[in-house]
DNA sequence: GTGGTCTAGACCACA
DNA sequence: GTGGTCTAGACCACA
């Protein structure tokens, strides 16, 4: 389900959050499906349960899953989440462009050739 | 000269690096100008000299300043550095766009209205 | 694992960098092996953890190790690093030879008898 | 007579020593010629007299000049000094080759193409 | 005075 | 436990 990249410098829990989030947004994990338990996932990716727990809490806070006591964690996808993600991506691009502005680097020049997905 | 943002979660030394770098790239600090001494800057922004030292070392490593032992630190700007920065900004935008691709979010839609600096 | 030479005038952190680097290039420390923790090595060679930390950061920057937060530091050797080291050694010899040229000292004379390792 | 390189990372006094030494070994400064006074040279290269003094002391220690109280400093060249310099260069090359040995890098490979001065 | 290194120890996020 | 950052202060070579 999830493969960690040990050469990635980001914290493990952040990698889990990002990967789970993408699986949900992409529809690979469908709404109301049950997710693996904290312990099961920890074993699967051989990491500490604390780390998985931290990732799950963050995903719940962001609205990507809900937990039912005694039953487990479930996917909670809805259209709003994709919008939320779009906003997030857009803000990250804006942050970069703001930096460019400060250095008097032309925005169009920077974005040139990036409008379309390369395949 | 430099104002720290205590709400910023990044380490202090990183904020110093980024701000000095921008001042140099913007031409506010001109080549061969002497920079404030490690101790002077530490007092000015009320931080520890070691922290400023760490920032200065990183700036030297990146080619933004050079150091003459016993005399001080001096600005060492050249055109290549701006190109290097442009590459860096471009790569950061590409990383965001790659994420968008994975979620089937349209690139043009995401970039809409960002081509020009808002004023 | 590492023995410091207190007669060596170079800074302690530089000696650590050089020795670890050699152990990695020689293959004594194999890729993905875990390195001693900052604190453990500091105790072993009776120096300050900050000094070891500085050495580890430099080794990471040079590509000889990678760090997983909360887990530790690991060896990250690849062939390119040895090539890089060869270039470095060659350049240092060239610098000496250039000095010799300026004094009209014959290169061959200087290099005589050095082509083969003494055993 | 001497031009300092401010982008050179070595200490100023070391640059002075090296440059004076080369001028003497090359015969540009002839034996028993009077050298500029500490103060005169300090003004000429706009540095601190302490720095020139340190360089002169080192040159005297190495046998490249002698001082006559009340008169000044004089060049003291003799054949032995060139031999001394050759030994010095040779030792520096040997140090590099010893490093190569430790990494199992072939000496001949490293020295290939360096036997003759490029022009 | 100036940068560079180091000690001794604290605190934090992460696992 | 592990790396990363930081404080407060010392000492050194160099100018």
* DSSP 8-state code for residue A34: B
Q: Search chain D and give the residue with CA nearest C82.
A: D103
Strand pairing category for A65-68 and A72-75: antiparallel
- Residue range A37-61, pLDDT digits in tens: 999 999 999 999 999 999 999 999 9
Instruction: State which residue has its Cα closest to the C1' atom of E8.
Output: C48
| Number of residues in chain B | 119
Q: Answer for the pair A19, A60: CB distance below 8 angstroms, yes or no.
A: no
Q: H/E/C letters for each residue in D32-83?
A: CCECCCHHHHHHHCCCCHHHHHHHHHHHHHCCCEEEECCCEEEECCCHHHHH
Token pair recorded at residue B37:
């001494």
Instruction: State which residue has its Cα closest to the C1' atom of F8.
Output: B48
pLDDT band, very low/low/confident/very high, at A77 (cuts 50, 70, 90): confident
Contact C116 D107 (CB under 8 A): yes
B76 has a pLDDT exceeding 80? yes
**Integer distance in angstroms from CA D65 to C1' E1?**
31
d(CA A6, CA B9) in angstroms, rounded, equals: 24
Beta strands in A58-117 (DSSP E): 65-68, 72-75
Residue/partner pairs of C112-119 with CB below 8 Å, 24 or more apart: C114/D90, C114/D93, C114/D94, C114/D97, C114/D107, C114/D111, C115/D107, C115/D108, C115/D111, C116/D107, C116/D108, C117/D97, C117/D101, C117/D107
- Residue range B2-30, pLDDT digits in tens: 888 888 889 999 999 999 999 999 999 99
A78 has a pLDDT exceeding 90? no
pLDDT in tens, chain D (119 residues): 788 887 788 999 999 999 999 999 988 999 999 999 999 999 999 999 999 999 999 999 999 999 998 899 999 977 888 998 999 999 999 999 999 999 999 999 999 999 887 66
Beta carbons within 10 angstroms of residue A38's beta carbon:
18
Residues on chain C touching D110 (C-beta within 8 angstroms)? 86, 89-90, 93
Residue A5 is predicted with a pLDDT of 84
Instruction: State which residue has its Cα closest to the C1' atom of F2.
Output: C70
C48 has a pLDDT exceeding 80? yes
Has this prediction a pTM greater than 0.85?
yes
> In what helix (H) or strand (E) does residue B110 lie, and over which residues does it extend?
helix B107-111
d(CA D28, CA D36) in angstroms, rounded, equals: 14
Nearest to B113 by CA among A106, A94, A86: A94
* DSSP 8-state code for residue B16: H
Q: DSSP string spanning B40-85?
A: HHHHHTT--HHHHHHHHHHHHHTTSEEEETTTEEEE---HHHHHHH
**Integer distance in angstroms from CA A67 to C1' F1?**
31
Contact D107 C117 (CB under 8 A): yes
**Integer distance in angstroms from CA A48 to C1' F9?**
39
A7 has a pLDDT exceeding 90? no
Compare C64 and A80 and report the one with higher pLDDT: C64
Token pair recorded at residue D19:
């440059």
- The mean per-residue pLDDT over the stretch B99-104 comes to 91
* DSSP 8-state code for residue C68: E
Token pair recorded at residue B113:
């209205």
Contact D9 B70 (CB under 8 A): no
Query: How many angstroms from the chain centroid is the CA of residue A119?
Result: 23
CB pairs under 8 A between A and C: 12
Contact D11 B70 (CB under 8 A): yes
User: Which of B82, B92, B105 comes nearest A86 by C-beta?
Assistant: B105
CB < 7 A from strand F, the residues are: B 11-14, 47-51, 54, 68-71; C 35, 37-40, 49-50, 53, 56-57, 60, 67, 69-73; D 11-14, 47-48, 50-51, 54
Beta carbons within 10 angstroms of residue B86's beta carbon:
16
- C1'-nearest nucleotide to the CA of D47: F15
d(CA C1, CA C24) in angstroms, rounded, equals: 12
Chain F positions with any atom < 7 A from a protein CB: 1-10, 13-15
List beta partners, residue D66: D74
Q: What is the mean pLDDT of chain D?
A: 91
Contact A7 C76 (CB under 8 A): yes
Contact D93 C96 (CB under 8 A): yes
Q: Residue B60 CB closer than 7 angstroms to strand E?
A: yes
Q: Search chain D and give the residue with CA nearest B70.
A: D11
CB pairs under 8 A between A and B: 77
Q: What is the mean pLDDT of chain C?
A: 93
Residue C18 is predicted with a pLDDT of 95
Residues on chain B touching D6 (C-beta within 8 angstroms)? 66, 68, 74
Please identify residues in chain C, positions 39-68, with a C-beta within 7 angstroms of any atom of strand E. Answer: 47-51, 54, 68
């Amino acid at each position: 389900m999830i493969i960690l990249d040990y050469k990635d410098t980001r914290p493990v829990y952040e990698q889990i959050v990002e990967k789970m989030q993408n699986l949900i947004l992409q529809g690979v994990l469908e709404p109301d499906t049950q997710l693996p338990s904290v312990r099961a996932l920890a074993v699967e990716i051989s990491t500490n349960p604390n780390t998985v727990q931290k990732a799950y809490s963050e995903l719940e806070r962001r609205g990507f899953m809900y937990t039912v006591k005694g039953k487990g964690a479930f996917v909670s996808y809805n259209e709003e989440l994709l919008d939320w993600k779009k906003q997030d991506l857009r803000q990250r691009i804006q942050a970069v462009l703001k930096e460019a502005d400060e250095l008097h680097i032309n925005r169009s020049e920077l974005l040139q050739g990036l409008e379309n997905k390369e395949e």
